Amino acid sequence: MPQGLEPAAQVKARLARQLRAVANTRDQHLHRASARLVREHPLVVLEDLRIRNMTRSAAGTAEEPGTNVAQKRGLNRSILDAGWGKLVQFVRYKAERAGGGLICVDSRGTSQECRRCKAVAAKPLSLRRHVCPCGLDEHRDVNSAGVIRDRGLAVKAASEGVSPSGTPTWAVGPCVVPGRSSPPEGSAGER
């Protein structure tokens, strides 16, 4: 064996340790972030990542959304996706505990739709600003956040008054959970 090269087994073990460390750090961050979201907001609205993945795969070639995303975006993308799923999971149970609400909305078109006039302002991912003929000009993520919030509030309004118990009656949508390729109420397919 050439000098200075680690045996494969050692490299593997070291990588495994590093990946665990990354996962632990990420989980700690997600716990802090989700706790803060639930503490500061009685209602949290998130995008349904599963639907977003399906939208992405439609433009690609692979049939399986999760796999396609991993192929296109690499490890960083899959780590981000796993992080998103965990954030949803953490917000969900913390909100349930605190009597708060979580609404997951269809994420299709959230980056293209104008939050003010609802027109579609198509733009590539490289274009970071949302500029609409209606006059709205702001960072694309700020506009998207507004679209997502409004969709969530529409769901909330539609579901209010269903329960007379006084507890929040806000609908909880089928947000993605890591390892699932279908909504919780569907069959639990692994990806």
Closest by alpha carbon to 174, among 81, 107, 76, 119?
107
Work out how close the CB of 111 gets to Zn ion at its nearest, in angstroms, rounded to a whole number: 14
- Whichever of 52 and 130 has its CB closer to Zn ion, that residue is 130
Number of residues that make up the chain: 191
- Whichever of 134 and 162 has its CB closer to Zn ion, that residue is 134
Neighbours of 178 (CB within 10 A): 16
In DSSP terms, which residues pair with 113 in a beta bridge?
120
- Check residue 142 for interaction with Zn ion (CB under 5 A): no
- Check residue 21 for interaction with Zn ion (CB under 5 A): no
- Whichever of 67 and 112 has its CB closer to Zn ion, that residue is 112
Distance CA(177)–CA(82), nearest Å, equals: 8
Provide φ and ψ at 142, rounded to 5°.
Answer: -65, -45
Distance CA(72)–CA(55), nearest Å, equals: 13
- Check residue 117 for interaction with Zn ion (CB under 5 A): yes
Binding segment for Zn ion (CB under 5 A), chosen from 14-22, 52-60, 135-143, 149-157, is 135-143
- Whichever of 38 and 114 has its CB closer to Zn ion, that residue is 114
Residues that bind Zn ion (CB under 5 A): 114, 116-117, 119, 132, 134, 136
